[in-house]
Amino acid sequence: MRIGLLTEGGTPCATGDTGAWWQRLVHGLPAHEFDLYAVGGPLPATPLPPHTRPVPATGEGALPAGPPERTGRRAYGRRDRRRFAEGFRALATGLTAETDPAHPADGDPADSFAAGLGALADLARDSGGLPAALRSDDAVRVLEAACRAPGARRAAAAAGLHDHLAFADHLERALRPLSLDWYDETALGAADLCHATAGGPVALPGLLAKRFFGTPLLVTEYGVGLRSHYLHGEAGDRSTALRALLASLHGRLAGETYRQAALLTPGNAHARRWQEKLGADRDRVRTVHPGMPAERFADVGEDEESGEPGTLVWIGRVEPAKDLVALLHAFAELRARRADARLRIVSVPADAGETEPGGDHCAYLAQCAALAAQLFPDEAAGAHAVGENPVSFEELGGPEAPTLEDVYASAAVVVLSSTVEGFPASLVEAMFCARATVSTDVGAVVEIIGGTGLVVPPRNPRALADACLALLRDPERRYRLGAAARARALELFTVEQNLAAFRGIYLELLSHAPVHHRTGSDVPFARPAEAHLAGGWVPQAVTADRGAPDA
């Protein structure tokens, strides 16, 4: 079958969690054709298999942000302006109106938003892109009227002109997929299935393909984009009113995606709960754990050695959400009870474009290094020996930590101290390596561990220290937990189980979808089964008389 894979900037991955899972998907399913649609960014530069075809973004939706006079499109006529005003008014009302449980007859704002989004999509398809119209004075006036209308949210009603202008600019960028030229019979119209790698703007082309062609939409989320927006997307000097409008936009987009998708495949129960809370039907939600390569860790996992005695290993991206400060305080308490304990903090370089050099990453790393130097002065075995610190800060690929396998092989216990997590890849890697783990109870940690490691509350250094010390003192328990963890990871989190799940889901969705007839197509379910019978199938006439036929 032909799959339209909707990606975010050419990198449809769970940011910081499971890496480029889409590459393993397209390489592992060579029986299907994949068309890559990169929403809001460049196409992937990685080598692609022959059955995968990148589709460049063209049309007004692919233009860089800029003043409307530079977009180079003609202005709408009177009829189109009226259509835009009606559609945008419905969309703005859906973003600003407060749901009133006492008057359900007044309508659901989510329905108004969906109607407005569909009207704008129809207009963009019939008369050209929307960037100029969404940045026009008419759009700002309609938005201002919706914010000041009776029944609007209190936060939206407090928005001023500066907020309206800033929100209109953000709205234009979020709705830019509506203006792309992918919605014809040669692009998404030819796809048997659209597979979006996230909710929100990334899934917009899939929503339109369903609207225009009836193409089923599959949405996979290993991290919830709306949650990330709530946590990180409201930084800066934005007013309370603007933050409320932005939260409403992203919430409505995610909710509409979840309602329209034929099937949702969150990567863990944590993401699943977010989807159901935003309106996803439980019958259309199916957890598919991300697939991670286990072969590279086979030698470490099968080795009966349990790492260097007394060595704790933390590995990941150094950022405040990882709470290394709590880990250092926990290690200080553990060190007071076990003098030979050692802590290796191994940082993994951030993916390209995620962290700016010299930004918060470097500042937080310097803060943690200063705290470690304060808590653990360099110690020397004698008067003529060089002092060493029991805490080491290393970077993956350096002389002390050349590969992930080497890092995990040195660990007696692998520690995760985060206050916020999605699906932590380092935890699964440690399980592949048969290492006992101590983790904080955040995100999908409990779902991943499943009783094969110790879990403690976040921001509790004493509990973290007690759990680590208990495992360091009991090598047999470490070995049992590590063996159970490896067995669990090999059963649930391998690339093979992920590919098998999506192979079945693709066929299931296609079996209930309308057939796109193409010349020479071997798409499953395109023809009824009886068409394959030798000699054809001729139904026998049924008569009222069950006796012998007339002479």
pLDDT tens-digit map of 392-440: 999 998 888 889 999 999 999 999 999 988 889 999 999 999 999 999 9
Strands 263-266 and 33-39, by their bridges, are: unpaired
Query: What is the mean pLDDT of the segment spanning 525-534?
Result: 61
pLDDT of amino acid 96 = 94
- Closest listed residue to residue 217, CA positions, set 202, 228, 230, 229: 202
Q: Could you tell me the fold of the domain covering 295-493?
A: Rossmann fold (3.40.50)
Contact 451, 431 (CB under 8 A): no
Indicate if the pLDDT at residue 58 is higher than 80: no
| Topology agreement, domain 1-57+182-291+494-551 and domain 295-493 | yes
Position with higher pLDDT, 306 vs 429: 429
pLDDT at residue number 427: 96
Report the percentage of the chain scoring pLDDT > 70: 81
Helix (H) or strand (E) holding 242: helix 240-260
pLDDT tens profile 335-378: 999 999 999 999 988 654 444 444 567 899 999 999 999 999 87
Rounded to 5 degrees, what are φ and ψ at 195?
Answer: -120, 110
More confident residue, 480 or 532: 480
Tell me the domain boundaries of the chain: 1-57+182-291+494-551, 77-171, 295-493
Summarize pLDDT for 106-128 with one digit per residue, the tens. 578 999 999 999 999 999 999 88
Range name among 292-306, 312-326, 427-441 with the lowest pLDDT average: 292-306
At residue 37, the pLDDT reads 92
Burial (CB count within 10 angstroms: exposed 0-12, middle 13-18, buried 19+), residue 216: buried
Given the structure tokens 């995606």, which residue do they identify?
257
Tens-place pLDDT, residues 222-281: 877 777 667 665 555 678 899 889 989 999 999 999 999 999 999 888 889 888 888 889
Residue 47: pLDDT band (50, 70, 90) is confident
According to DSSP, the β-strands at 342-347 and 311-316 are: parallel
pTM beyond 0.75, yes or no:
yes
387 vs 290: CA distance, rounded Å: 44
Percent of the chain exceeding pLDDT 90 equals 57
Average pLDDT value for the chain: 84
Q: Single out the residue of 176, 183, 266 nearest to residue 225, CA to CA.
A: 266
Residue 107, pLDDT score: 72
Superfamily in which the 1-57+182-291+494-551 domain is placed by CATH: Glycogen Phosphorylase B; (3.40.50.2000)
